[in-house]
Structure 1
Amino acid sequence: MALTDEAMDKIKAMIVDGELAPGSRLPKEDVLAGQLGLSRSSLREAVRALTAMRILVTRQGDGTYVSSLEPHLLLETLSFASDVSQGQTALQLLQVRRLLEPQATGLAAALLGPGDLRELRALLARSRSATTVEEFVVHDIEFHLRIVAAVGNPVLSMLLQVLSTQTQRVRIVRGTRAERAVEHAHREHEEILRALENRDALLAASAATVHVSAVEQWVARSLVDTSLQVAED
């Protein structure tokens, strides 16, 4: 095991064992290095890595602290994986999204208030007036996240945000015949919102399934087309 990995494991073990609680300050570098039997350079590298993972937080001039360790905070670091996902990996992320988002949308049918529904309607109007794929995707993401937010589970909200980031969605829409893909999305959004307005949980979940499945099917078809092209070459 690399020294940096060993140092990271030792710090994480201290957190898991309760020696370092969420929000607590790490001992001074020389003290912690001696306590863990590590060199200061290995400890420094481990702290940098754990800070990037949002497990630790460095406060300028004040030291390094354990973060709140809230699951939704830690999940933010996974967004990059979705941003760079291609091919089979992108398809797998969409499959997980299909398992989660329709259920969340169905639950939201009973939880969205009149003000929430008006805001969702306004989001669809802004989506309709978008002039670029990037602008459409911004409203698309906000539409879905506002629905999921009604469930009141920040871990679920962050997980679904990670599963389908703005970068990923723009890439997928641009990879299709963009105008037709956007028009289909408008219709599917309308069906989701109509079901939510009618407080029809089953229909809302079904409409969300159709919507996510359409994107998933396009990615699957693109994988097949790419495989055939490679075989022909």
Structure 2
Amino acid sequence: MALTDDAIDKIKAMIVAGELAPGSRLPKEEILAGQLGLSRNSLREAVRALTAMRILITRQGDGTYVSSLEPHLLLESLSFAADVSQGATALQLLQVRRLLEPQATGLAAPLLKEQDLQELRNILDRSRTVTTVEEFVAHDIAFHLRIVEAVGNPVLSMLLQVLSTRTQRVRIVRGSRTRDALDNAHRDHEQILDALRSRDALLAASAATVHITAVEQWLATSLTDVPEEPLTC
């Protein structure tokens, strides 16, 4: 593994130094391996790892290229880590989300057009008619993402998606008393939308803070308390 790590570091160094620019094609395997002083096996392992990180992309029959290296593209590789996070790690992700999303919600308040607000209204209306947790979470994600997208920063949008993935949200709702969790979420969403409609950035940020903090507090409590009765799924 040490040899593979060394190979990864050498390729990254070439990218950072500008020797391999975004979108450029890597030299042929035997040439690059000789240039970096690596075995071809180590180079192949490094390319596989960097491809998984979205730093490199492989085009069938054409070769391997440096990706665009856009931050939001590279952040996608972190989604799996968020998906499998549980316990204290999931709580830490929620804490970071609480630091970022309320500010993004406040920034969105003056930027959302009337048609955007109507779209948010439609999402919330549909969320009240769902029959499964998975359907509710899909609408929940759409609601928050639509707000953040109004800010116009794809890095922020992707980072917030990574911090709270669909899998993680379903796990949290199922781990709580589902009916209560859904009722509370509906109430919080309505308060966020009301604040956005009033174009009140501070109120919108506050409503988003309350919403995320409630989930964070429940998760923190669940790490230390053992429920006296089974939780509804």
Deviation of 1:185 after TM superposition, in Å, equals 0.1
The residue correspondences of 1:11-30 to structure 2 (distance < 5 A) are 11-30=11-30
State how 1:111-130 maps to structure 2 within 5 Å. 111-130=111-130
What's 1:82 paired with? 82
Aligned to 1:55: 55
Q: Which contiguous aligned blocks of 4+ residues in structure 1 show a shift greater than 4 angstroms?
A: none
CA distance in 2 between partners of 1:78 and 1:113 (Å) = 32
Query: 1:190 maps to which residue?
Result: 190
**Alpha-carbon distance in structure 2 between the residues aligned to 1:126 and 1:34:** 59
Identity of aligned residues (%): 81
- Give the total of aligned pairs: 228
Residue of structure 2 in register with 1:34 after alignment: 34
| TM-score computed with the length of structure 2 as normaliser | 0.96
One-letter amino acid of the counterpart of residue 26, structure 2: L
Output the CA distance in 2 between the equivalents of 1:7 and 1:155. Answer: 28
SS at match of 2:151: coil
Give CA-to-partner distance per residue, 1:157-194, whole Å, 9 cap, x none. Answer: 00000000000000000000001100100000000001
Letter matched to residue 137 of structure 2: V
Matches within 5 A, 1:128-139: 128-139=128-139
Residue type of the partner of 1:91? L
Q: Secondary structure at the match of 1:57?
A: strand
| Alignment partners' CA distance in 1, 2:188 and 2:50 | 41
Correspondences of 1:1-233 after superposition (within 5 Å):
2-226=2-226
How many Å separate the matches in 1 of 2:50 and 2:117? 40
* Deviation of the 1:139 alpha carbon: 0.3
Letter in 2 for 1:220: A
SS across alignment from 2:22:
coil
The secondary structure found in structure 2 opposite 1:168 is: helix
Unaligned runs of 5+ in 2: 227-233
The one-letter amino acid of 1:223's match is L
Counterpart amino acid of residue 195 in structure 1: A
Give the unaligned 5+ runs of structure 1.
227-233
Partner residue in 2 for 1:230 = none
Q: Report the alpha carbon displacement of residue 224 of structure 1 after superposing the two structures with TM.
A: 1.1
Which residue in 2 is equivalent to 1:229? none
Q: Distance in 1 between matches of 2:134 and 2:213?
A: 21
* SS across alignment from 1:138: helix
Q: TM-score w.r.t. structure 1 length?
A: 0.96
